[in-house]
Amino acid sequence: FCRVDPYGFERPEDFDYASYEAFFSRYLVVLTRRAIKWSKLLKGNNRIQKSLKVKRYVRKGIPNEHRALIWMIVSGAQTNMEQNPGYYHRLLEGEKNDKLVEAIKTDMNRTFPDNVKFRKTADPCLQHTLYNVLVAYGHHNKAVGYCQGMNFIAGYLILITKNEEESFWLLDALIGRILP
């Protein structure tokens, strides 16, 4: 067994691999069945219609391989990204607020210290991606800017989507529309 989980988090020294294997070997059947249902629902399409079936599927859990796409669709982030092509990159190319940048840099090394993907020694190191997402969001939503803890939300989105721009739009959906 690997000491690091699929998302890059190190397992503790006392991690019970035997219990995990016993549980996961049974749970894998459930995950596989759900993944098949989601694949049939999507049918190679990047769109889904809101329905009681979709709601039930979401509540039971979205398989890892479909999670980023489903989050993008149901949050409205996909639509916003498509309606604003190039916006994210323009935010990164624009002039930076020094106070915002300093606040974000302060939290970089604090973000998921037990995750190997966020360490400076990682290749690629997700700290730069996280920095970009947070700086862009701070300039996008000046009323919020950057608040302590946003680094963990954005970091998790980056781990799930594996995509910088999608993480930005999901962060915008969460902070700008869903959480308020």
> Which long-range CB contacts under 8 A does 124-129 form with residues at least 24 apart?
126/155, 126/158, 126/159, 129/158, 129/164, 129/167
Write the pLDDT tens digit of every residue in 15-66: 999 999 999 999 999 999 999 999 999 887 777 888 899 999 999 999 999 9
Residues 6+ apart with CB under 8 A from 125: 117, 118, 119
Q: Report the C-alpha dihedral over residues 121, 126, 129, 130, rounded to 10 degrees.
A: -110
Q: What are the boundaries of each domain within the chain?
A: 81-176
From 3.40.228.10, 1.10.8.270, 3.90.950.10, 1.20.1440.230, which CATH number describes the 81-176 domain? 1.10.8.270
Give residue 70's pLDDT band: very low, low, confident or very high (50, 70, 90): very high
At 92 the pLDDT is 97
Residues 6+ apart with CB under 8 A from 68: 160, 161, 162, 163, 166
pTM, two decimal places: 0.91
Write the pLDDT tens digit of every residue in 144-173: 999 989 999 999 999 999 999 999 999 999
